[in-house]
Structure 1
Amino acid sequence: MLNPPEELPDCLYATQPTLIRPNTPTPKHCLTLSNLDDQKFLRFSIKYLYLFKSSINLDAMKYALSKLLVLYYPLAGRLRSSPDRDQKLEVDCNGEGAVFAEAFMDITADQFLELSDKPNRSWKKLLYRVEGGLTFLDIPPLVVQVTNLRFGGMILCTAINHCLCDGIGTSQFLKAWAHLTAKPDLPSPISPVHSRHVLRSRNPPEVTFSHPQFTVNKENAHVDVLRFLQSQPLVPTSLTFTRSHIHHLNRQCSPSLKCTGFEALAAHTWRAWVRSLDLSPSLNIKLLFSVNVRRRLKPETPQGYYGNGFVLGCAQTTVKDLVSANLHHGVKLVQQAKAELSDDYVRSMVDLLEDKAVKTDLSTSLVISQWAKLGLEELDFGEGKALHMGPVTSDVYCLFLPVIGDVGAVRVLVSVPERVAEKFGYCMTEFLDKEFNNGGEHHSINGYHAADNGIMEY
């Protein structure tokens, strides 16, 4: 049986949140965002949560942030609609500052660590909700909350606007903040590159490829799996795959097909997700996954580019073909989707996004975002690395997360309908029983063991 989530106590705020402004004057202008930046799909904040064993000096963190916002001054500005171009976003670089909230929660670091595998709704308490933030544009690009815990632990939550930064960009920013806090006399390791013109559209736009990641239909006439999922009670599922587990997946494709750990785990997760939902065999199903294209472009984006330099690769097939075939089939589709992402393909995608009626096709898609290889877990503000790193919430979008203390491991976090959660876990872990029955070494995943009657929890 699934255990109910444990509710966190309320946060206590001794003071009102403050605005941390750049500590020296910064350029005052409007930063135009690229078409990859201001997609409707990305109009939210990336919310990270870090748990530290020891509290960090707040004055040092604030001072380092004020210094860093001189370099990353757009994060101290405000997002707005462009007055010149319909549905286009820009950043008013006005130096208003980032929101910084301080709180206390009556829980210990060890107690939170025990709960850390699966986020629940009460975790939202750990990130300050900006008053008057009725729309996406009302929320400052950077919101921070530091929550001190009983007996000295600390939780750091950050909300960074996805239109300004992708995962690589947020990691670059957070590492620079930690560096300046721990070593205030040393310069930031990487200088940020603000110019979004390296990903501007061509004039006139040239859409020379088909892009199944997107649709121009305002209302999809076919089945909308996303809407179906969101209409039900969802529960987070969290499974940690060790290096050995991922090696077992890779072995299912060898020797005829060589693949990366990501390709194998992405295809396996996609297939397990589809199997658990009992979708129509004839339905065309997609896997959308983030791919960094900074080095695929000609010329490459300069080092320090922290804007959105990723696109969504798209693998697609019918439910019947994905479920009935072995893992090899799904992996090959993922590889083909990655191989398509040339400079010409990405430029065509950027040009396609000039049409603001185009939107990401989420209706029959599983979306996987790769956080495991960004170095997010390496953050150290001077008191040691985090005990836990992950999102503030779990969603129908799937995250591949780093595992503290195990570089080769990946934690798969995704919310699924409560009624299929056990089946999804079974589909994700049954390959281990097959390895075991074939004489391979057997390891359970998170204490789950695949059996004929579903998942049993030890």
Structure 2
Amino acid sequence: MLNSTPPKTELPDCHYRDQPTLIPPIAPTPAHSLYLSNVDDQKFLRFSIKYLYVFRKSIAAESLRESLSRVLVDYYPLAGRLRKSPGGDGEKLEVDCNGEGALFAEGFMDFAVDEFLGISEKPNRSWRKLLFRVEGQSFFDIPPLVVQVTNLRCGGMILCTAINHCICDGIGTAQFLHAWAHAATTRPNLDRPIKPFHHRHVLKPRNPTRTNPTHPGYLIHPDQPDGAVDVHRYLLSQPVVPSSTTFSAADILRLKRQCVPSVKCTAFEALASHTWRAWVRSLDLPPTVNAKLLFSVNVRKRVDPALPDGYYGNGFVLGCAQTAVRDLTAGTRSLHDAVRLVQEAKSNVTGDYVRSLVDLMEGRRVKTDLSASLVISQWAKLGLEDLELGEAGKGVFMGSVTSDIYCLFLPVVGDAEAVRVLVSMPETAVEKFEFYMREFSDEKGMVVDNGGEVNYQNGTNGFHDHDHDHFT
């Protein structure tokens, strides 16, 4: 008789052998204040990026501590502490490079790698047990780098890191993690990691500042106009649940084929546009609302002069595609048109645009426009899944500790072309969102989902755009 018992989705408690310890750099490091650029310290980025790795083999915690202390010699700002810049306006941040150390915790969980893989598609609140919670009164009380290694009963381990976003962007975190992995290996034939470039003055505002009037992803006058639809506030007020959809290379190719020959597009452009449309359709927004898609654009080579190799600070700004809901959701050309909007948004992020935005942020009169925006963060092409950590080898899973209303494009270990889309949606909309995410139309009008079912369009897709009340 087959065992039909569903897998346990809640993780058991994590037991700590000792109190967490601070890991300082193994050698003396420069003691100074590190200036953060206006891109680094914007309020939108005042949180930690939380990565989760699963390995079938474990490494002695002492070995991880020692390798971490060595890599922190190069990445010494991560061993410092964030603080408000003295003499500023109370909003400007800097890093006190005091060598205090990263927080390192070691725990044990009565769980196995295969059990975790069975529930790994969608994070839940119990995953937070895998990352030590630092008690503090404010954002400044949390060390820029927090690490927890959790040993499992099967001999495997889960490694979680929380890296302050004000100090590193996605490219920067990947650069740091690969440097740590290099320090943890005993193989001498590995290429040495790129040296980090610490200084952020390359993105200082100009004197005098010069700003352009058009920065569609940002609000120059942050007060929300009366009567405007604020989807972001609505989402924060609702019970949300994670949604996860994996797109194979064939799925993404099917999306791209809907746009040719009129427009050629990248995998990101096609998948971001598809996700944007599914998100808007599932929330049933009023047709006249101006819906936005915000996504990170790497500007390291777009500014002149280019940012130096090894720059691990925030070297991105948000591209913004926007259109009325009715134009995004109606008609057979909607995906094609959305892709064009994403491409146009990317092309608008020029060097002059970046410098203008940095100047605009100097006055603290600007914030990210989240009112009716889906925010997508691209983790899938950063090499995060290729992390090879000493004797543990490569991980069998890489993802996020948590799911949020911001959308993540995650890598799939073992399949470089696949992408997993993770985002939290209101309970009332998640089923509809997942249906639209699985919906693919080919040239003959068929709808194909990831489960392999094929149905011919007959004027309905199982959900109607008027199935529930309009969002207000």
Same fold (TM over 0.5): yes
Alpha-carbon offset, residue 163 of structure 1: 0.2
Q: Which moved more, 1:140-149 or 1:180-189?
A: 180-189
Please state if 1:216 is matched with 2:220: yes
Mark the CA change 1:304 to 1:140 in structure 2 (over 3 Å): closer, same or farther. same
Which of 365, 369, 380 is equivalent to 1:372? Answer: 380
- Equivalent residue letter for 1:309: G
Task: Give the match's secondary structure for 1:113.
Answer: helix
Q: Which residue does the alignment assign to 1:304?
A: 310
SS of the residue corresponding to residue 305 of structure 2 reads coil
User: Could you tell me how far apart the structure 2 residues matched to 1:363 and 1:233 are?
Assistant: 18
1:129 to 133, 136, 145: 133
Report Cα offsets for 1:50-105 as digits up to 9, x if no partner: 01111112222111111111100000000000112111000000000000000001
Per the TM alignment, residue 130 of structure 1 is displaced from its structure 2 partner at its CA by 1.3
**How far 1:352 moved relative to its partner?**
0.7
| CA displacement 1:9-35 (0-9 Å, x = unmatched) | 111011000100001110000001001
Task: Quote how far apart the aligned CAs of 1:288 are.
Answer: 0.2
Equivalent residue number for residue 89 of structure 1: 93
Establish whether residue 411 from structure 1 lines up as the match of residue 420 from structure 2. yes
Does the Cα contact within 8 Å between 2:446 and 2:454 map onto a contact in 1?
Answer: no
Deviation at 1:369, TM superposition (A): 0.3
TM-aligned CA deviation for residue 452 of structure 1: 4.0
Partner of 1:445: 450
* Closer, same or farther: CA 449–376 of 1 in aligned 2, 3 Å: farther
* Cα distance between partner residues in 2 of 1:318 and 1:270: 12
Q: Deviations 1:153-184 (Å, cap 9, x if unpaired)?
A: 10000000000000000000001101110137
SS in 2 for 1:12: strand
Measured after TM superposition, the shift of residue 445 of structure 1 is 2.2
1:239 aligns with 2:242: no
TM-score after normalising by structure 1 = 0.94
Query: In the TM superposition, what are the counterparts of 1:278-297 in structure 2 within 5 Å?
Result: 278-297=284-303
Question: In the alignment, which residue of structure 2 is the partner of 1:175?
Answer: 178
1:145 maps to 2:145? no
Q: Which residue in the other structure is 1:322 paired with?
A: 328
CA contact (8 A) 2:285 2:325 kept: yes
**Using the alignment, how far apart are the partners of 1:152 and 1:246 within structure 2?**
36
Q: Quick one: structure 1 residues 112 and 59, their matched pair in 2 at CA, closer, same or farther if it must change by over 3 Å?
A: same
Structure 2 Cα separation of the partners of residues 47 and 430 of structure 1: 30
User: Take 1:233 and 1:427, find their aligned partners in 2: how far apart are those partners?
Assistant: 20
SS in structure 2 of the partner of residue 7 of structure 1: coil
Residue of structure 1 aligned with 2:235, choices 204, 212, 229:
229
Q: Does 1:50 align with 2:58?
A: no
- Residue 347 (structure 1) aligned with residue 355 (structure 2): yes
Partner of 1:25: 28
Q: Quick one: which amino acid aligns to residue 376 of structure 1? A: L
Asked if 1 retains the 8 angstrom alpha-carbon contact of 2:80 and 2:100, the reply is yes
Shift of 1:436: 8.9
* TM-score normalised per structure 2: 0.91
Q: Give the percent of matched residue pairs that are identical in Structure 1 and Structure 2.
A: 63
| 1:357-400 Cα distance to aligned partner (Å, 9 max, x none) | 31101111000000000000001112221111011000000000
Query: How far 1:187 sits from its partner (Å)?
Result: 7.9
CA contact (8 A) 2:7 2:119 kept: no
2:172 alignment partner, SS class: helix
Q: 1 CA distance for matches of 2:83 and 2:406?
A: 26
Identify unmatched segments of 5+ residues in structure 2.
1-5, 465-472
User: Which residue, 397, 422, 433 being the options, matches 1:424?
Assistant: 433
Distance 1:394 1:358 in 2: 27
What's 2:469 paired with? none
Structure 2 letter corresponding to 1:224? D
Alignment match, 1:35: 38
**Residues 447 and 397 from structure 1, CA distance in 2 versus in 1: closer, same or farther, beyond 3 angstroms?**
farther
Letter in structure 1 aligned against 2:404: D
Alignment correspondent of 1:252: 258
> Within 1, Cα distance between the matches of 2:8 and 2:201?
45
**Residue among 68, 71, 75 paired with 2:71:** 68
C-alpha distance after superposition, 1:327-372 (max 9, x if no partner): 1110000000000111111100111111213110111100000000
Q: Which amino acid aligns with 2:442?
A: E
Partner secondary structure for residue 442 of structure 2:
helix
Runs of 5+ consecutive residues of structure 1 not aligned to the other structure:
none
